[in-house]
Amino acid sequence: MDGPAAKKPRMGVNGTVGPEDSRHTKAAVLFRAAGYAEAGTEAVREFSEIHRQSEKCRWLENGFLQQFVKVGEQACRVCIYFPTQELQPHISIAGEDSLITHGAVDLWTWSGDSASAAPVHQRLLKGSRIVVPPGSVHCLRADARQGLVFHGLVEEDTFQKRSTDFQAAAEHRMPSRFAGRTVLVTGANRGLGLGLAKAFTALGARVVACCRAPAKAEELLGLSPKPILIELDVASDTSVAALPEKLRDSGVCSLDYVINNAGIASPNHPYDPILQADPEVMKSVFNVNVIGTIMVTKACLPLLEMAESKCVVNLSSQLASIEHCYGGLQGHFGGICSYRISRAASNMAMRCFGGELREQGYVFIAMSPGHVDTDMGSSGGRKAPLTVEQSVAGMLSVIAHSSLEDNGKFLQYDGIELPW
């Protein structure tokens, strides 16, 4: 490319993705789903990878894939984005005009140079056109479940002459993945539940904060915008049975995320040897951590069904790992029995949900928040290494990037997969 514009960071091919690369297999599935190759016929050629070098374009997280194909008589650029993949704010000098052939996209466009004004948001589905006026800053995020495939409606010759400039002002920020989503959190009045409610609220989600005594939940009542507060005791059959009606009465018609956070440990946590197991303590822990989590999830399924994300996160613990329970990471041989047994059982419940609903676009995750400085985390005089904010930031990042591939996984707040 000639001229001064050539010095700016711009569209660039950063490599090729061929059949030996695992991304090629996934991209080929999307490419075929979009109708560019007949299923079971010729192999899909290698893709070019665009914008991976972060030193060139600091707002770009990852590269999308492209390939030129003939659509009718015209050679067109086909772009493939994996689920949740983003293209950060940038300026396309020539504008964009493309046709979505698979999946869906959230597109944000800023008018003029005004980074302070809120961008215009469009949710575009298969068959829609992605139209961006020349010179406007825009960004996009592919559908969390299906990804996104589209082809440009400009000819290859014209495309090769155009220019994309990534020098959008730093104030043009990628909107949060949780903005506009509805998130239900149980046990939202203190500890990690409160931290989750605060963080989701700050990111623009509509939070349904459930707790046993909403009138006393001062920190929740002080949040802005105020969450929807619902009284819920997860261990009470009548309280859980009333949840759907309370959600309806509060105007909640769909739930993108359900975070089963409410949980308890034995009163002597973490000292709880099985040789001294108390049946009443074990039943009460099991009732909240296992049966409560299952029944709240069941009650929420009809509203999850109405949303795109359909994601259920059960707070678990690395103490549930049977593989790690002899010494090693946990540093114990036995002990903490009521809690460990309940968390291993709630992990299996999560696997059962994920298994039975695997064809319906749900994602069920068992999430260990790490050892966190809360009432539970510091019980028994322990000093927890993580703050609520650190743990919550990690969990939100894992949840935001979750896809169907994560259904049925046991993940830690930093994204590491834990052994059962």
Ligand X SMILES: NC(=O)c1ccc[n+]([C@@H]2O[C@H](COP(=O)([O-])OP(=O)(O)OC[C@H]3O[C@@H](n4cnc5c(N)ncnc54)[C@H](OP(=O)(O)O)[C@@H]3O)[C@@H](O)[C@H]2O)c1
Cβ 390 to ligand X shortest distance, Å = 11
Q: Is 235 in the site for ligand X (CB under 6 A)?
A: yes
Query: Which range, of 4-12, 68-76, 304-312, 364-372, touches ligand X by CB under 6 A?
Result: 364-372
Check residue 411 for interaction with ligand X (CB under 6 A): no
By CB under 6 A, tell whether 214 contacts ligand X: no
Q: 13-39 as b/e, with b when 16 or more CB fall inside 10 Å?
A: eeeebeeebeebebbbebbbbbebbee
317 contacts ligand X (rule: CB under 6 A)? yes
**How far lies 156's CA from each of 48, 151, 153, in Å?**
15, 11, 9
Residue 207 binds to ligand X (criterion: CB under 6 A)? no
Whose Cβ is closer to ligand X: residue 290's or residue 315's?
A: 315
Q: How far is the CB of 189 from ligand X (least distance, A)?
A: 5
- Any contact of residue 377 with ligand X (CB under 6 A)? yes
CA 273 to chain centre: 37
Q: Are strands 182-185 and 257-260 parallel, antiparallel or unpaired?
A: parallel
Stretch that binds ligand X, among 4-12, 135-143, 233-241, 349-357 (CB under 6 A): 233-241
Q: Does 137 bind ligand X (CB under 6 A)?
A: no
| DSSP class per residue in 251-277 | T----SEEEE------TTTT---GGG-
Binding part of the chain for ligand X, among 60-68, 114-122, 174-182, 367-375 by CB under 6 A, reads 367-375
Task: Verify binding: residue 193, ligand X, rule CB under 6 A.
Answer: yes
233: left (phi over 0), alpha (psi -120 to 50) or beta: beta
Residue (188 or 311) nearer to ligand X, CB: 188
Beta strand 137-142 with 86-92: parallel, antiparallel or unpaired? antiparallel
Total residues in contact with ligand X, by rule CB under 6 A: 30
CA distance 324 to 335: 13
Over the window 145 to 184, marking each residue x when it contacts ligand X by CB under 6 A and - when it does not, the resulting string is ----------------------------------------
Residue pair 83/53 in contact by the 8 Å Cβ criterion: no
Q: Which residue stretch of 167-175, 226-234, 323-331, 404-412 sits at the interface with ligand X (rule: CB under 6 A)?
A: 226-234
Using CB under 6 A, which of the segments 119-127, 259-267, 325-333, 351-359 binds ligand X? 259-267
| C-alpha separations of 163 from 114, 135, 149, 271, 317 in Å | 21, 10, 21, 64, 49
Q: Is 232 in contact with 210 (CB distance < 8 Å)?
A: yes
Q: What is the crossing angle of helices 191-202 and 388-400, to 10°?
A: 60
Question: What is the C-alpha separation between 19 and 37, in angstroms, rounded?
Answer: 15
> Is 9 an interacting residue with respect to ligand X (CB under 6 A)?
no
Positions in the binding site for ligand X (CB under 6 A):
186-187, 189-193, 211-212, 232-235, 261-264, 288, 292, 315, 317, 368-369, 371-372, 374-377, 384
